Chains A and B, each alone.
Chain A
Amino acid sequence: MTISAFPPGALLILGAMLLPFGGPRTRTALMLGLPLATLWVVWNLPDGASATIAVFNYELILVRSDALGRLFAIIFSLMAFAGFLFALRQRSTLELVAAMTYAGGAVGVALAGDFVTLFVFWEIMALASSTIVFSAGGRQSTKVAMRYFQVHMAGGALLLSGILVHVTAGGSITFDSVDTNTLGGALILAGVLLNAAAPPVSAWLPDAYPEASYSGMVFLSAFTTKAAVYALIRGFPGTEILIWIGLFMIFYGIIYALLENDMRRILAYSIVNQVGFMVVGVGIGTEMALNGAAAHAFAHIIYKALLLMSAGAVLYQTGKRKCTDLGGLFQSMPVTTVCGIIGALSISSFPWTSGFVSKSMINDAAGHEHLAFTWFLLMAASAGVFLHAGIKFPWFVFFQKDSGLRSPDPPWNMRFAMIFFAALCIGLGIWPQPLYMLLPFPVAYEPYTAAHVVNMLQLLMFSGLAFFLMLPLMRRTLTITLDVDWIYRRLAPIIVRRCAAITLELNARARHTMLQIHSEVAKLTRNWYGENSKLGGVQTVGSTIAIALFVFAIILLWDLFTA
């Protein structure tokens, strides 16, 4: 048994079990050491399948290393390292154990060579991530964690049934591209898409993630959706419907983020939006697009974690999370501000940041394939991203009015984690070659052409201008309402309002009916199966004998008169 025969994800999962037992020093060493050790193992994995075991009649490939899987495993372990550096002061052991298991699950997914292994790690991730939400404490997070868990169990059920159907229909158990025209393929796709927060079930993400603790959300942002993107790249490249799903996610994320007031919920919506770009890339399915999707996932994990670290730092220092309560923090939290801005520029794919070198690959892939409509929407969305995440987040949190808060920068470990990721954002932006070398397909792509840069700068400048011109409108997002009229003003404000009213009315009625049906059903099942019912209650000896004889009579008649 060599080191490569041991799944690197298990290193983190088993290591997580040790966390509760060590003293503070051991714990710190484990939290920082284990991700680095995993990174080292992943980096040195030879190509091809290793660590196979036979279960049932199948050969399971616990570890299969190729460029694509390794790229994701690398960024997952890197993310785990920075995340734990950020979370060193987290007092909830439960959250830390869950986070490490979660990271291990993600690494396991990225290296899983067959569907069964994939599913097992997939479920580990679901369980661990729910625990992270749960461990934030309080009634709200317990409820949210339950909701989150149920959604993911449903997703797991879809995935598992898909795998079963796929395998029994004669499909290979090896995790490779799957035909979506078969029932099995479609079910697997649905299960994976659910984890990618695709419509119509995108809401679980912004519902649950912001309820996690200041450090919990950093972990949550990185793994679940990106593992799903990985599974999409591996299993469903070039599936056309993904383009439309991805575009929907992009605009869903932008619109809701613009309306949102909670800084971390803004960032949660922007996860949906960014994953949308990757899903579009997978849908286009050319080598360049897949490269783009993979690179974008890589870059996205870094800058989204960076953004959430800066938001988490603000939450940790001030205890506030609403844009309306924040503002002016740049004076007292300079490091956090600068790092937040770097993250914001990256997510807006500003030239010389990591977002630029990855997202432009997806955009250009759309252009190369002459998907004019898609390309146009992607460009429009790029402007939208700048609006909601690139400017809105830093502006309302760090600048805007002076809220009077004078919290200092967070402790050293959180600062270091932010600076580390900020440096990566800039570094990858200026020298993209190392990232390009890790991509699944050979890259012949030069992001820094004059046209690109100018094009992007123009786009960003105009949307920036638009933001500040419309600042009074943006401010109206103090309350959480259906007040979306500023978007639709030129279209038909009245219709929108009427529609909203009707929807609300219908929703209320539907809800009422649902509740009524629910209570009726509950009453009925209780009557049938409750403790005092015929089935669930205590029976007298006489009636049990009667039942037995009745059954006997039926069996006897059946046996005598069949055939």
Chain B
Amino acid sequence: MISAHLPALQVVIPLLAAPACVVVRQSTLTWLLALLVSWISFAIALTLLVQTFFNGPMSYELGGWAAPLGIEYAVDVVNAFVLVIVSGVSSVVLISAKESIERETHIKRTHLVYTGWLLCLTGLLGITITGDVFNVFVFLEIASLSSYLLVSLGPDRRALTAAFQYLVMGTIGATFILIGVGLLYMMTGTLNMADLAQRIPGVAQTTTVRAGFAFLVLGISLKAAVFPLHYWLPNAYTFAPSAVTAFMAGSATKVSIYLLLRFFFDIFSETFSLRTMRLDLILLILGVIAIFSMSLVAIYQSNVKRMLAYSSVAQVGYMVIGISLATTTGLTAGIVHLFNHALMKCALFLALGCIVFRLNSVDLKDLAGVGRRMPWTMAAFVIGGLSLIGVPATVGFISKWYLVLAALERDWWWLAFMVVASSLLAVIYIWRVVETAYFKTGPVANTEEAPLILLVPTWVLIVANIYFGVSAVDTISFATRAADQLLSTF
């Protein structure tokens, strides 16, 4: 029965397809292969989500070795939801990637992009699906190494320094996670997540476990670009090829946030992480600083891609705030924002990809007047921007609504106010782009609209932004279920 092996296939198919890309080399063929594999992964992820939602969690023993010793893949609603996000983002972005990447990367290296892409996808899906903490580290390294490669393939030479900085910070993050995992292993003698969750309470008061906890907090926060550990992100996003930026924005930080949830709510229990260690306080403070300072920084950026990158750091702030509230509504807000932010940022970066394709620049000053020449692209950008701001009938509104509700549930008026106030900052930086694109005139007279193959995926995501903004019942019910599950702990 193939359906019994779906959890393994989820990871194995892209893993095997990646070296095949190197063998094939031919640009279009590698793209087709990557596209096919990504869509298969997406289909598997959707199947897994439906199965776990109706039949409860599934466990898969890799190679037939039983759980505490062998590697276990454990799929529940939480990670099935993230699997869908990651593979879905990859699939939609890949459609437009061909044109965009051929324009931005040397033709001899395009197959490397797809190889890196598939490896990165493997790593991200692996981190998400596995039930073994050492396996998390392995996949984390696969995902990280391939994303350094992806960033370094950007069109600008500055991509190399950006990739280097990303490499240094990413390695520090991964090492910290490894040390944390090692310390836990020392005290419990197991690497299986479910096993760890059972054994940690017995040794929770030891300094070793507490130090391990600290290492994990820093490592994961670095990977998730939680303020002020975000410095690798703006450069990496700015100088990577447009399609890669869209892919990473919709997947990489999301998976790290998932890790944060998994480690601090499941492996360490919510009581230990939040009540005893007061991680919620740290996250809340950092989150609130992030949503304001990073939005303000975004306002002053002259490069639109960079502006959106900073906005991503701010958005991570919203997720972290939701998580720090540690109520069902708060976690729901955080988790649903994972999905919603993937939709909006991915759409926005794809729209920027269209602009890069025609203008070879995303400097704000070069965008003057582009609204008339590229109406569909800019319309997509505007709707994506509205979603980022949180206008009703877009997904952004759903996220903000739940976050505000969660804050009000705890009677934290000031927090609700801050969330709303900070989204006004998003109005400012989006408006700067809109104003330049529509109300200023510039030398873009002979620019044409971007080709359909770039526009269609962009608009698919835009429509999704509105669709899931209007009928949020499904996403909310998944997120609520995931939140409930995390809070009950296993």
Interface residues of A (CB under 8 A from B): 54-56, 119-120, 123, 142, 157, 161, 164-165, 168, 525-526, 528-531, 533, 535-536, 538-539, 541, 544-545, 547-548, 551-552, 555-556, 558-560, 562-563
Contact = CB atoms under 8 A, between A and B. Distances in A.
A548 B218 contact: yes
B169 A548 contact: yes
A43 to B, nearest CB: 28
A529 B472 contact: no
Contact of A545 (B164, B172, B228, B392): B172
Interface stretch (B60-68, B243-251, B291-299, B459-467): B291-299
B487 interface: no
Contacts of A558: 214, 277-278, 282
A559 B297 contact: no
Closest 3 pairs (CB-CB, A-B): A536-B297, A529-B296, A544-B231
A142 B169 contact: no
Nearest to A556: B214
A559 B300 contact: no
B297 A562 contact: no
A456 B210 CA distance: 85
B310 interface: yes
A531 B301 contact: yes
Contact of A544 (B211, B218, B232): B232
B214 A559 contact: yes
Contact of A529 (B217, B293, B392): B293
Interface in B204-253: 207, 210-211, 213-215, 217-218, 221-222, 228-229, 231-232, 235
A559 B392 contact: no
A552 B277 contact: no
Residue from the set A142, A157, A539, A563 with the largest chain B CB neighbour count within 10 Å: A563
Contacts of A548: 169, 172, 218, 222, 229
Given A168-B409, A544-B169, A560-B210, A536 B301 contact: yes
A531 B302 contact: yes
B233 to A, nearest CB: 11
A544 B165 contact: yes
B214 A555 contact: yes
Interface string B460-490: 0000000000011100100000000000000
A562 B277 contact: yes
B420 A157 contact: yes
Contacts of B210: 559-560
Interface in B310-357: 310
A164 B404 contact: yes
B312 to A, nearest CB: 14
B408 interface: yes
Contact of B176 (A142, A530, A552): A552
Contacts of A541: 164-165, 168-169
Contacts of B176: 552
Given A161-B420, A168-B408, A547-B231, A531 B300 contact: yes
A119 B397 CA distance: 13
Contacts of B164: 541
Contacts of B439: 142
Contacts of A142: 439
B405 interface: yes
Contacts of B300: 526, 529-531, 533, 536
Interface of B is mostly: helix
B320 to A, nearest CB: 14
Contacts of B172: 545, 548
Nearest to A561: B210
Contacts of A528: 293, 296
B404 A525 contact: no
B282 A538 contact: no
B276 interface: yes
14 contacts: A56-B476, A157-B420, A164-B416, A529-B299, A529-B300, A531-B300, A535-B293, A544-B169, A544-B232, A548-B218, A551-B228, A558-B277, A559-B211, A563-B276
Contacts of B277: 558-559, 562-563
Nearest to A169: B408
Given A120-B392, A164-B404, A552-B176, A545 B229 contact: no
Given A539-B231, A541-B165, A560 B207 contact: yes
B335 to A, nearest CB: 15
B393 interface: yes
A538 B172 CA distance: 19
A544 B169 CA distance: 8
A557 to B, nearest CB: 9
Interface in B395-423: 401, 404-405, 408-409, 416, 420
Given A526-B300, A552-B218, A560-B211, A123 B392 contact: yes
Given A528-B296, A548-B169, 16 more contacts: A56-B472, A119-B392, A120-B393, A123-B392, A142-B439, A165-B408, A531-B300, A535-B293, A541-B165, A541-B169, A545-B172, A559-B210, A559-B277, A560-B207, A562-B276, A563-B277
A497 to B, nearest CB: 41
Contacts of A535: 293-294, 296-297
A544 B173 CA distance: 12
Contacts of A560: 207, 210-211, 214
A531 B296 CA distance: 10
Contacts of A165: 408
A341 B211 CA distance: 85
B296 A168 contact: no
Contacts of A161: 416, 420
Nearest to B427: A153
A164 B405 contact: yes
Nearest to A532: B300
Interface string B36-56: 000000000000000000000
A188 to B, nearest CB: 15
Contacts of A164: 404-405, 408, 416
Contacts of B221: 551
Contacts of B392: 119-120, 123
A157 B229 CA distance: 33
Nearest to A120: B392
A535 B234 CA distance: 11
Contact of B229 (A168, A529, A547): A547
Contacts of B169: 541, 544-545, 548
Nearest to A165: B408
Nearest to A554: B282
A536 B408 CA distance: 32
A71 B439 CA distance: 41
A8 B44 CA distance: 42
A56 B475 CA distance: 10
Interface string B271-309: 000001110001000000000011011011110000000
A15 to B, nearest CB: 18
A430 to B, nearest CB: 45
Residue from the set A55, A164, A544 with the largest chain B CB neighbour count within 10 Å: A544
Nearest to A122: B392
A136 to B, nearest CB: 15
A164 B282 CA distance: 27
A63 B280 CA distance: 43
Given A548-B172, A555-B217, A54 B473 contact: yes
Given A120-B393, A545-B172, A538 B408 contact: no
A536 B215 CA distance: 27
B310 A536 contact: yes
B205 to A, nearest CB: 9
Nearest to B289: A535
B473 A545 contact: no
Interface string B373-400: 0000000000000000001110000000
A74 to B, nearest CB: 27
A236 B146 CA distance: 61
A88 to B, nearest CB: 27
A536 B228 CA distance: 11
Contacts of A562: 276-278
A519 to B, nearest CB: 16
